[in-house]
Amino acid sequence: MAQLPQDNTKLNLAPKRFNMWIFIFTSFMFFAALTSAFIVYSGSKGHALNVILPKAFMFSTAAIILSSSTVYMATQAAKGLQFAKQRLYLWLTLALGIIFFVIQIYGWYVLAFRMNVYFINPNASQSFIYVFSGMHLLHILAGLVLIIVSLVGTYRKTPQVINLFRMEMGSIFWHFVDIIWIYLYVFLLLNQN
């Protein structure tokens, strides 16, 4: 007797979900290590940050907080089988993510060319601004890839179980990078002087 093929889609997604959580945990530990390194360096050398953060970082923070709302709405639309709304909110999330990225790069421009705070300088505490934001931008790029994969899937009529999985993973990761940026931004604000 021939066996019917079983739908193992949900079973195949469980390891991917676990891998995402491992990646988020290791990324969290990475940023915790970076901030710890900053504290140790600035405390032992007596080097304060001695720089006021560019206002661009405040605007980029607003953009990424707003993008967390749009990715949440995209996830809710996906759960409600409202694919047109899902696409709209994913496009908005993608646009806000790109805006965040561009504003961050502009913040680097302000730091380097208007404030004379360079990546390599005698006060390595200031270099941490570039390290924190640069490593975070790499995570933003990964998040944008996840958003794009989810968006493309909505146009290809991906099975709903895969669509929801992609939205869940993309949403979790996007909220994570949002929280990490807020943490880094507040950390830098508290250590400006």
- Give the residue among 43, 42, 49, 191 at the shortest CA–CA distance from 126: 49
Given phi > 0 = left and psi -120 to 50 = alpha, else beta, which region is 38? alpha
Q: Which two tokens stand for residue 106?
A: 């502009």
Find which of 4-13, 35-44, 172-181 is predicted with most confidence, using mean pLDDT: 172-181
Convert the pLDDT of each residue in 93-136 to its tens digit: 999 999 999 999 999 999 999 998 888 887 788 889 999 999 99
- Give the residue among 152, 150, 180 at the shortest CA–CA distance from 35: 180
Domains, the chain, in order of start with CATH, read 55-190 (1.20.120.80)
**pLDDT band at residue 4, thresholds of 50, 70 and 90?**
very low
pLDDT, residue 8, reads 53
Convert the pLDDT of each residue in 134-154 to its tens digit: 999 999 999 999 999 999 999
The one-letter code for the residue type at 190 is L
- CB distance 182 to 128 below 8 Å: no
A 10 A CB-CB count for 52 gives 11
Mean pLDDT for the chain? Answer: 89
pTM higher than 0.85: yes
Write down the H helix ranges in 8-159.
Answer: 9-45, 55-79, 83-109, 124-155
The one-letter code for the residue type at 1 is M
Buried (b) or exposed (e) across 79-118, using 16+ Cβ within 10 A? Answer: eeeeeeebbebbebbbebbebbbebbeebbeebeeeeebe
Convert the pLDDT of each residue in 34-65 to its tens digit: 999 988 888 776 667 788 899 999 999 999 99
